[in-house]
Amino acid sequence: MQPSPERHRADHFLCLRANDWCAHAGVLRTFAAISRLGDGVAWYMLMAAMVLLDGFDGLRASAHMAATGALALLLYKALKRWTRRPRPFAADVRIRAWIAPLDEFSFPSGHTLHAVSFTIVALAYYPQLAWVLLPFTAMVALSRVVLGLHWPSDVLAATVIGGGLAGLSLWLGAALPF
C-alpha cells in the first residue's frame, strides 16, 4: 500500500524542515550524540547497571530487554528487506545525511523501534526511570529525522511496532514461571 500523496508530501516537508536544524553546529552535535547512544551504547549501559545495582531482579529485567531487542532486530531487518524504502537523503538531494547510516533502507527506524521497546520493558520493571528514558527515547526518534536518515512516517511506524512488540513481550513474560 502506497501512502497517499498528501501524507507523502507532509512526510517530505517535515523531513526537509527538521533536517535544516543541523545547519546549527550545536544541534548537529546534540542529535549525533543522541543517535550514537541509541546505536546500543545507552541500552547496554542501562542493562549492565540494572544487573550491578539490582542483582537477580536486574538480570531478569536485562534478559527481558535483550530478548525483546533480539526480536526487534529480526523484525526490523525483515521489514527493511521487504519494503526497501529509500532513505530521505537518497530520495531528495536537498536532504543531507548528517551522519552515516547503519544500513541501506529507511523503513522502519531500527533506532526508534529498539528505543521504544527497550523503554517500555525497562519501565515495566523500573517505572522510576521514566523521567530519563521517555525524553531519551523521544530524542532518539527525533534524531533519526533531523539527521536525514528517516522519514517521519518511518519513526511513527517504528514507535507503533516497538510498542506492540514490547507489549507482547511483557504479556508473554508474565506467563513465565520466574
CATH of the domain at 23: 1.20.144.10
* Side chain identity, residue 21: W
As a whole number of angstroms, the distance between CA 153 and CA 159 comes to 10
Per-residue model confidence as pLDDT tens for the chain (178 residues): 445 445 578 888 888 888 888 888 898 999 999 999 998 899 999 999 999 999 999 999 999 999 999 999 999 899 988 988 888 888 888 888 888 888 888 899 999 999 999 999 999 999 999 999 999 999 999 999 999 999 999 999 999 999 999 999 999 876 555 4
Write the CA distances from 107 to 25, 79, 132, integer angstroms: 27, 7, 27
- Domains in the chain: how many in total? 1
**Structural domain harbouring 100:** 5-174
Report pTM: 0.89
- The residue assigned the cell 510498542 is 163
Rounded CA-CA distance 89/56 in Å is 45
